Chains A and B, each alone.
Chain A
């Protein structure tokens, strides 16, 4: 699994790219994140802290897509049923299709404990925990889903999932489900007659709920397993952690992406598995593009004023994802990632808590410190995606043909071009003092 390679310097000349040092590291099989024990400890710790809320996110996303469906007043959409908490993850436990995490298939015990007692450490009715805001910030998961929905045309024509949402076949499937869902509700049926597109668009959104839920169903066990491997001393460095992700991506790439809705116990296949949509192309790559790179401008940092021209007119120029985000204002009004940072705060492993206590303001600015760690870890995940793409589309890193090496180089340079904007945090994460 571990392949640390050295580019023979004679084969092709060094890159002249401003990020040449990072490109050379990628060509040697490394990550965008420097390989230090401190970085490894940080990213693995944060994977663990991210995976626990993620275990809730994917379950609730699927619960909303499949069960809440078109409920016009979804007051309790974050109160997921026991069935969904017990729902076996397809990649963990004894029943797994492809066992990634050696742990259990139902919800993570830390998550269950948090849902029961919350920050208050008190057993209270779910509703009171919710009203006291002692809960998982599910709004963040929905925000990610909406980013994917809104940026949906970005990968055409590679991405088939999007195109399918506009097809007649999809419309018919959705139509059947909508009619079935509202069959006892003449008001909503009447509204559907008047404004069919309104409901159709809502179902497209629900399909993205399902898409993201299925994406995270994979990532949660991956991160749990990485944390376990690290605890056992299995990772020697950051490239190992990246390579685990690369291998995971390939292992899982062909998993199906679908959208089923359950109405009165009957399953409506809005996007059937038989369409052959797969995890890598229809969920993972769009997710990375939409959430890591693009999302939408934070309301607390950019003005949406059209005359001010602060927000690009073209969606492909959006650069507000975690790779570009300014994490220092986390905790302030108008900074969406705060929701996720707050979620991860509850599940930090002890070694990371201790680490944060030794730096900056210790406990008081842990939210910002863990946010920056999270940014580092997502640079590592993005590195894995870039390496996986290179493996899929181009040549091995140790290819003896200089032309092939050059093609790899061009690919890496094109990827690094995206980090030439001043907002990119790639330069910051190279330094251990960025915290």
Chain B
């Protein structure tokens, strides 16, 4: 039952917030950790119940709510949402694991984290536009508080910037949704009711652009990304994990679920422009990351670049590129979480994030060798080194997009090259070299600080070797998504041969049999 995924965390958040103050901080953390582990286990249970042969919505729930507004409580899950639900539950657990034992005001902190988790899960399964919007907006205030109370220096500035951008994003999305419903004359905001609407193309383009900017702020796409570096850098490690791992995916999910599916004609019209936009995003993110002197900022800009691949894949709109895009959402989520966690550990132990101060952390006795080794793994995964999950996602995207937008795809390939450049810079300055004897008396990294990174590294490695375990969930849905979108005949012809490739890739998956 999907409702449990929404309400269990929210109830847990309330319980945590109301815990008596006699319960110590580490105990509150332990309760939150076990609660989120329970939610993760339940999510995995739901995934095991997921029927791979059914490309449509599953586990649907419906409750009439406020009929006159067209708002009802309608939930459902398909391959796209399922992967992101798992990601959300996983990263919530990781974020709580990665938080400090001595977090101040733990009741509020863990309560907000769980509240966010419930809201995000709800947004992924909501099948009513207004319900999606409500849950989408639910993130706003908790994140604002998480940044402004527990953040680093300049947290006030960053939190306000985040709040304004996200509020603007919400307003644009609401305008897009309202416009869509009013112009089609629909009575309800139900997603299925709005599929296949027949608005004039000009109107479609206007609504699409509105939504694209709304979601593009959240993803974020250049030039709407300027909140991101400040926010990610000011947020503490667990909050940065949630922001980058989950919230960015909410924006991307919005683009795929709403922009692409509801306005197929307009999307096809704008696709070349979107692909170019994506390529610019990728290259911009990578070059901006090269210029950074702060490792957290580097990772933040890497996120801008990686989100560009999603738009490229969406613009190409082949079933292969769609599989790639959804894989990339998951891959980027775990990789970014790993990187932010490790950067957080480095910052607590060494006390700085400056590239010019950090050095020699691979030293086995006095450095942080396990953290450094995992950082190298994370950087390689992010740069798309084969054998790790980042490569799978990027390769699927390139393979799926090349036939449609060769030039933009090649620019994306150059982007991965630049990604390798700044991650090598980061590794080189941080892990290699020699320790500064004047400052190198860092505390030991505890096992509990390594576990989240080891779990993530294991997932990254496993899915890089055995990508079927990731793409099998996605493939039916992405095929259905492509089929439902009425693409112009010539585009279809062009992509026809490529659309066969997934069968080869997924030979062992039960779907293709």
Listed in ascending order, the chain A residues whose CB lies under 8 Å from chain B are 301, 326, 328-332, 360-362, 364-365, 367-368, 428, 434
Q: Are B434 and A365 in contact (CB under 8 A)?
A: no
Q: Are A331 and B437 in contact (CB under 8 A)?
A: no
Complex interface bits, B424-460 against A, C-beta within 8 A gives 1, otherwise 0: 0000000000110100110110000000000000000
Chain B proximity of A361: nearest CB distance (Å)? 5
Residues of B within 8 A of A326 (CB): 434, 437
- Within the complex, which residue of B365, B434, B441 is in contact with A331, where a contact is CB–CB below 8 Å? B365
Chain B proximity of A358: nearest CB distance (Å)? 13
Residues of A within 8 A of B444 (CB): 361-362, 364
Q: Are A368 and B365 in contact (CB under 8 A)?
A: yes
Residues of B within 8 A of A301 (CB): 434
C-alpha spacing A361/B443, complex, angstroms? 6
Residues of A within 8 A of B435 (CB): 328-329
C-alpha spacing A368/B365, complex, angstroms? 7
Residues of A within 8 A of B364 (CB): 331-332
Chain B proximity of A389: nearest CB distance (Å)? 30
Q: Which residue of A lies closest to B436 (CB)?
A: A328
C-alpha spacing A332/B431, complex, angstroms? 13
Q: Are B437 and A365 in contact (CB under 8 A)?
A: no
Residues of B within 8 A of A428 (CB): 437
Q: Are B443 and A329 in contact (CB under 8 A)?
A: no
C-alpha spacing A301/B435, complex, angstroms? 12
C-alpha spacing A329/B440, complex, angstroms? 11
Q: Are B443 and A328 in contact (CB under 8 A)?
A: no
13 A-B pairs whose Cβ atoms sit less than 8 Å apart in the complex = A326-B437, A329-B360, A329-B363, A329-B366, A329-B434, A329-B435, A330-B365, A361-B366, A361-B444, A364-B444, A365-B365, A367-B365, A368-B365
Chain B interface mostly: loop
C-alpha spacing A120/B115, complex, angstroms? 52
Residues of A within 8 A of B365 (CB): 330-332, 361, 364-365, 367-368
Chain B proximity of A348: nearest CB distance (Å)? 16
Question: Considering the complex of A and B, which 3 residue pairs feature the smallest CB-CB distances, nearest first?
Answer: A331-B365, A361-B444, A365-B365
Residues of B within 8 A of A365 (CB): 365-366
Most buried by A among B365, B435, B437, B440: B365
- Other contacts beyond A328-B366, A332-B363, A365-B366: 9, CB < 8 A: A326-B434, A328-B440, A329-B363, A360-B366, A361-B366, A361-B443, A362-B444, A368-B365, A434-B437
Residues of A within 8 A of B441 (CB): 360
Q: Which residue of B lies closest to A428 (CB)?
A: B437
Chain A proximity of B396: nearest CB distance (Å)? 38
Listed in ascending order, the chain B residues whose CB lies under 8 Å from chain A are 360, 363-366, 434-435, 437, 440-441, 443-444
Residues of B within 8 A of A368 (CB): 365-366
C-alpha spacing A301/B364, complex, angstroms? 15
C-alpha spacing A329/B363, complex, angstroms? 6
Chain A proximity of B370: nearest CB distance (Å)? 12
C-alpha spacing A434/B441, complex, angstroms? 10
Residues of A within 8 A of B434 (CB): 301, 326, 328-329
C-alpha spacing A364/B444, complex, angstroms? 8
Chain B proximity of A342: nearest CB distance (Å)? 11
C-alpha spacing A365/B435, complex, angstroms? 14
Q: Which residue of B lies closest to A301 (CB)?
A: B434
Residues of A within 8 A of B443 (CB): 361
Q: Which residue of B lies closest to A365 (CB)?
A: B365
Chain B proximity of A124: nearest CB distance (Å)? 27
Chain A proximity of B244: nearest CB distance (Å)? 31
C-alpha spacing A328/B365, complex, angstroms? 8
Residues of B within 8 A of A328 (CB): 363, 366, 434-435, 437, 440
C-alpha spacing A360/B434, complex, angstroms? 18
C-alpha spacing A331/B435, complex, angstroms? 13
Chain A proximity of B275: nearest CB distance (Å)? 46
C-alpha spacing A301/B434, complex, angstroms? 9
Chain A proximity of B286: nearest CB distance (Å)? 31
C-alpha spacing A332/B364, complex, angstroms? 6
Chain B proximity of A430: nearest CB distance (Å)? 14
Chain B proximity of A356: nearest CB distance (Å)? 12
Q: Which residue of B lies closest to A434 (CB)?
A: B437
C-alpha spacing A367/B367, complex, angstroms? 13
Q: Which residue of A lies closest to B443 (CB)?
A: A361
Residues of B within 8 A of A330 (CB): 365
Most buried by B among A330, A364, A368, A434: A368
Chain A proximity of B63: nearest CB distance (Å)? 56
Q: Which residue of A lies closest to B364 (CB)?
A: A331
Most buried by A among B364, B366, B435, B440: B366
C-alpha spacing A332/B444, complex, angstroms? 17
Residues of A within 8 A of B363 (CB): 328-329, 331-332
C-alpha spacing A360/B437, complex, angstroms? 13
C-alpha spacing A428/B437, complex, angstroms? 10
Chain A proximity of B376: nearest CB distance (Å)? 16
C-alpha spacing A187/B432, complex, angstroms? 49
Chain B proximity of A210: nearest CB distance (Å)? 35
C-alpha spacing A365/B363, complex, angstroms? 11
Chain A proximity of B447: nearest CB distance (Å)? 12
Most buried by A among B360, B364, B434, B440: B364
C-alpha spacing A190/B364, complex, angstroms? 49
Chain A proximity of B433: nearest CB distance (Å)? 10
Q: Which residue of B lies closest to A361 (CB)?
A: B444
Chain A proximity of B287: nearest CB distance (Å)? 31
C-alpha spacing A108/B436, complex, angstroms? 39
Q: Which residue of A lies closest to B435 (CB)?
A: A328
Q: Which residue of A lies closest to B444 (CB)?
A: A361
Q: Which residue of A lies closest to B365 (CB)?
A: A331
Chain A proximity of B185: nearest CB distance (Å)? 70
C-alpha spacing A332/B443, complex, angstroms? 18
Chain A proximity of B363: nearest CB distance (Å)? 6
Residues of A within 8 A of B366 (CB): 328-329, 360-361, 365, 368
Q: Which residue of A lies closest to B360 (CB)?
A: A329
Chain A proximity of B368: nearest CB distance (Å)? 11
Chain A proximity of B178: nearest CB distance (Å)? 60
Chain A proximity of B183: nearest CB distance (Å)? 66
Chain A proximity of B189: nearest CB distance (Å)? 58
Residues of B within 8 A of A360 (CB): 366, 441
C-alpha spacing A383/B244, complex, angstroms? 59
Q: Which residue of A lies closest to B362 (CB)?
A: A332
C-alpha spacing A434/B438, complex, angstroms? 8
Chain A proximity of B441: nearest CB distance (Å)? 6
Most buried by B among A301, A328, A360, A365: A328
C-alpha spacing A225/B363, complex, angstroms? 36
C-alpha spacing A362/B443, complex, angstroms? 10
C-alpha spacing A290/B443, complex, angstroms? 36
Residues of A within 8 A of B440 (CB): 328
C-alpha spacing A364/B440, complex, angstroms? 14
C-alpha spacing A428/B440, complex, angstroms? 14
Chain A proximity of B51: nearest CB distance (Å)? 50
C-alpha spacing A301/B363, complex, angstroms? 13
Chain B proximity of A300: nearest CB distance (Å)? 9
Q: Which residue of A lies closest to B442 (CB)?
A: A361
Chain A proximity of B237: nearest CB distance (Å)? 22
Residues of B within 8 A of A361 (CB): 365-366, 443-444
C-alpha spacing A365/B369, complex, angstroms? 13
Chain B proximity of A269: nearest CB distance (Å)? 46
C-alpha spacing A365/B444, complex, angstroms? 9
Residues of A within 8 A of B437 (CB): 326, 328, 428, 434
C-alpha spacing A328/B436, complex, angstroms? 9
Chain B proximity of A169: nearest CB distance (Å)? 48
C-alpha spacing A368/B444, complex, angstroms? 14
Residues of B within 8 A of A329 (CB): 360, 363, 366, 434-435
C-alpha spacing A365/B364, complex, angstroms? 9
C-alpha spacing A431/B232, complex, angstroms? 41
C-alpha spacing A360/B366, complex, angstroms? 9
Residues of B within 8 A of A332 (CB): 363-365
Chain A proximity of B423: nearest CB distance (Å)? 22
Q: Which residue of B lies closest to A331 (CB)?
A: B365
Chain B proximity of A145: nearest CB distance (Å)? 27
